Amino acid sequence: MAILKILQYPDERLHTVAAPVAHVTNKIRLLIQDMAETMYDAPGIGLAATQVDVHERVIVIDISEKRDQLLVLINPEIIASHGASDYEEGCLSVPGIYGKVQRAESVTVKALNAQGELHVVDASGLLAVCIQHEMDHLVGKVFVEYWSQLKLTRTLARLKKKQRRTM
């Protein structure tokens, strides 16, 4: 297994649209293991393949306290959504920046698991927010891009300052 490098905003590669996974092969299973290790190491509660510069529709999530309930979503599709919520979000590609985004309060998602089997997940609260955040990564959208131009410009300036300090 390996810890992968996480792309940092505003890296253009974060805007790549991921392609559907044609077959769940051992290569995809290895990617899932590496993504999970990278997410646990960061630490984070989710990671999309886009963030590690792999442009296939693969997501890993674990919101459990014990960090022992890995959820793998391959080719995820939201088939139902209800309500609205605005959770404070963070992103491993935008370190140190947190803010609210309006999203559905609950979602039903169908996806393949690591065995290539179709499963349906009903999610609400933090899990629903995390699924929607990670699915945005797969279409090249980063959560700060929901904000106003003014707030985004200020965020970019803060990020550049931080990045200069760590160089």
Give the footprint of ligand K1U on residues 84-103 (CB under 6 A): 87, 89-93
Q: Please provide the size of the chain in residues.
A: 167
Identify the residue whose tokens are 């459990």: 64
Catalytically active residues, by annotation: 134
135 binds Zn ion (CB under 5 A): no
Q: Is 49 in the site for ligand K1U (CB under 6 A)?
A: no
Q: How far is residue 149's CA from residue 69's CA, in Å, rounded to a whole number?
A: 37
Applying the rule CB under 6 A, the residues between 8 and 47 that interact with ligand K1U are 43-47
Cα separation, 75 vs 55, whole angstroms:
12
CB 7 within 8 A of CB 14: yes
- Span interacting with ligand K1U, options 14-22, 25-33, 82-90, 115-123, rule CB under 6 A: 82-90
| 60 forms part of the interface with ligand K1U (CB under 6 A) | no
Q: Which residue is nearest to Zn ion (CB)?
A: 91
For residues 80-99, which are near Zn ion according to CB under 5 A? 91
Q: Residue 158 is inside which H or E element, if any?
A: helix 149-165
Edge-to-edge strand list for the sheet holding 71-82 = 46-48, 58-61, 71-82, 106-112, 118-124
Q: Identify the DSSP state of 139.
A: T
Q: Which is nearer to ligand K1U, 67 or 116 (CB)?
A: 67
Which of 128, 130, 138, 159 contacts ligand K1U by CB under 6 A? 130
Residues near ligand K1U (CB under 6 A): 43-47, 51, 87, 89-93, 129-130, 133-134
